[in-house]
């Protein structure tokens, strides 16, 4: 007998509900999440809430950095947190600092290239083509999170255009890069595809070619300050289950089978 995604989702949610059946009352699960997984997460969470009776309270922010919404800064301020969902190496840093535990790898995320809706799409089929496109563009935008760190500190150097990009390429803190492109404030934007897809007013040209691609792992863990660790683990288990696969793929991500 073949099982559909609906069957898988029902089974996974049933398992999550059974896991929490011993609780006297519904839990409030506080989640801090970065942009890479947000679109799929926002679709899946209501199903988890309905099946378990738990309430999920979400705070959004970058995986790293010093902006007010960045997950490390939220933790420093003592904001409530049970589940942390962010770039894998950023979660590892929090684990080393004693602020998180129980890492589970959820998805792989690729970097994409976007232009304003209706604008000509540049050739990005090879590293040389990307180099030509970036040199031809008047303005380029990249994020202040994992993809942007790679683009600004590695990719531009790899292409030999770091000097040329110094004045035309802008790091965009906190705001989705696609919003800047949609407003016409940058001709080319680069960020994880899953973060580009939800924003209207842009066309996604495609992923960076393999020679330049940097795959980012997004992972989940339990915050050291968690007051509802078991409910948090149930949520992570659901996000890592076959039930979540279709939604995750549709958001532009690649599920990691079995976590880490």
Give the angle subtended at the CA of 202 by the CAs of 114 and 195, to the nearest 5°.
65
pLDDT digits (tens, 9 = 90+) for 133-165: 999 999 999 998 888 999 999 999 999 999 999
**Mode of pairing for the β-strands spanning 140-143 and 188-192:** parallel
User: What's the whole-number mean pLDDT along residues 43-57?
Assistant: 94
What is the pLDDT, as a whole number, of residue 25? 65
CA terminus-to-terminus distance, the chain: 29
pLDDT digits over 51-109, tens only?
899 999 999 998 888 889 999 999 999 999 999 999 999 999 999 999 999 999 999 99
Residues in the chain: 260
C-alpha 123/C-alpha 23 separation (Å) is 55
Token digits for 219? 């992972």
Query: Across residues 181-205, what is the average pLDDT?
Result: 95
Cα–Cα distance for residue pair 195/218, rounded to 1 Å: 13
Instruction: List domains and CATH numbers for the chain.
Output: 5-108+217-255 (3.40.190.10), 111-207 (3.40.190.10)
CB atoms under 10 Å from CB of 76, counted, come to: 11
Calculate mean pLDDT across residues 185-213.
96
Burial class (CB in 10 A: 0-12, 13-18, 19+), 242: middle
> Across 30-39, 59-68, 107-116, which has the greatest mean pLDDT?
107-116
Check pLDDT > 80 for residue 24: no
Per-residue pLDDT at 146? 82
Task: Kindly state the helix (H) or strand (E) to which residue 47 belongs, with its residue range.
Answer: helix 38-52
pLDDT, residue 20, reads 47
């Amino acid at each position: 007998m073949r099982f559909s995604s609906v069957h898988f989702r029902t089974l996974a949610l049933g398992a999550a509900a059974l896991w929490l059946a011993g609780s006297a009352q519904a839990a409030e699960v506080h989640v801090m999440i970065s942009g890479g997984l947000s679109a799929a997460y926002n679709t899946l969470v209501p199903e988890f809430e309905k099946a378990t009776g738990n309430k999920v309270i979400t705070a959004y922010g970058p995986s790293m950095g010093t902006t007010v919404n960045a997950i490390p800064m939220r933790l420093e301020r003592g904001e409530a947190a049970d589940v942390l969902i962010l770039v894998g190496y950023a979660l590892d840093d929090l684990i080393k600092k004693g602020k998180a535990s129980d890492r589970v790898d959820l998805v792989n995320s690729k970097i994409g290239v976007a232009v304003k809706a209706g604008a000509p799409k540049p050739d990005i089929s090879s590293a040389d083509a990307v180099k030509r496109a970036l040199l031809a563009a008047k303005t380029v935008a990249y994020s202040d999170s994992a993809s942007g760190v790679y683009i600004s500190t590695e990719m531009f150097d790899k292409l030999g255009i770091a000097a040329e990009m110094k004045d035309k390429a802008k790091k965009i803190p906190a705001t989705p890069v696609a919003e800047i492109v949609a407003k016409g404030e940058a001709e080319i934007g680069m960020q994880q595809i899953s973060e580009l897809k939800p924003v209207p007013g842009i066309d996604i040209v495609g992923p960076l070619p393999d020679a330049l691609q940097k795959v980012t792992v997004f992972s989940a863990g339990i915050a050291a300050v968690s007051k509802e660790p078991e409910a948090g683990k149930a949520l992570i288990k659901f996000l890592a289950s076959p039930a979540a696969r279709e939604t995750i793929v549709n958001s532009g991500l690649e599920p990691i089978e079995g976590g880490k």
